[in-house]
Amino acid sequence: MNSLLFCLDGNLALQTGLAARARLQPAACQRWQFPDEESYVRVLSNVQGRDAVVLCSLHRPDTLFIPLCLLMETLRELGARSVGLVAPYLAYMRQDQRFHPGEAVSARLFADLLAPHIDWLVTVDPHLHRIHDLGTLYPVPHRVVHAAPALAAWVASEIAQPLLIGPDSESEQWVSEVARLTKAPFIVLQKVRLGDRKVAVSVPDIERWREHTPVLIDDIISTGRTLIETAGHLQRAGMRPPVALAVHGVYAEHAERDLQAAGIQAFTSNSIPHASNTIDLSELVGQAIEELAP
Ligand code: R5P
């Protein structure tokens, strides 16, 4: 029998896309916050003896983590045979080491909190930088979906003469793969993070790319500062207005407004529900679920 697919993060477009592609039956649950910010969760579908899958990106992790745990454990209490998690955006992956004495290594500690609740995990391009294998954090059956083929298909169909630009060395894995698939030229810049909301980016001589459309490619748009800083350099170098492409549109604080003010058109995958979603991951995520769901 098909697994039941619950959606906790409001990503109904992805829930519908997944149900159409994988052997999944949409199921219903409710979540809200009480005035004191405690969470209420209710399962509305019969899960007795069924395999359950929960779709929940963790872009607002401190708000979503508790309801996610409440839902997954309630599914078990109500008789679900298994509970898999599809978290297209996995949170707390960037603090993967103790940069300063006394800091919490939240990538590992967050995984320690989440992993015991799940039988298997599917995620999309987690921010694996110093930690290379997701299985060292999440010791459960898992699949890492790579969005690069979907990003490449978008670039190929939408941008006539692209110059792909990775704003920092960490973005090279995405930009080089999109470049390989589209056969477009690419460069990778150097970024220094000066604070949560401050970055400095160095841009090499890019005169010869003046006739190209710069396409900034990154895994995450959080505050947007990385893209805004990069776009400023490109503008001063006389380049065409850039477009930005990111796997995960986290859009923290005023990122959307700030990107608009900087004249940057941003496009994202539907790993996190947002108005900038233009790249559908249902096919790629659906395949990964098919491999893991019982
Ligand atoms: C950092 O290592 C990531 O790859 C992104 O570049 C970063 O998360 C973007 O953050 P922000 O939008 O706040 O500059």
Band of residue 236 on the pLDDT scale cut at 50, 70, 90: confident
- Distance, CA 126 to ligand 1 centroid (Å)? 13
Q: Which atom of ligand 1 is nearest to the CA of 199?
A: 14
**For position 282, what pLDDT does the model report?**
97
Q: Is 3 in the pocket of ligand 1 (CB under 6 A)?
A: no
Say if ligand 1 is within 6 A of residue 225 CB: yes
Domains, the chain: 4-146+281-292 (3.40.50.2020), 148-270 (3.40.50.2020)
All residues at 6 or more sequence positions from 267 whose CB lies less than 8 Å from its CB, including other chains: 154, 243, 244, 245, 246, 276, 278, 279
What tokens appear for 123 in the block? 């995620």
Q: What pLDDT score does 200 carry?
A: 75
Is the model more confident about 233 or about 157?
157
3-state secondary structure of 41: strand
> Which atom of ligand 1 approaches the CA of 228 most closely?
14
What is the rounded CA–CA span in Å between residue 161 and residue 68?
43
Phi then psi for 262, rounded to 5 degrees?
-85, 5
C-alpha–C-alpha distance, residues 140 and 40, integer Å: 27
pLDDT band at residue 150, thresholds of 50, 70 and 90?
Answer: very high
Count Cβ atoms below 10 Å from residue 99 Cβ, excluding itself. Answer: 8
CB 5 within 8 A of CB 47: no
- H/E stretch holding 194 reads strand 190-195
Is the shortest distance between the CB of 220 and ligand 1 below 6 Å? yes
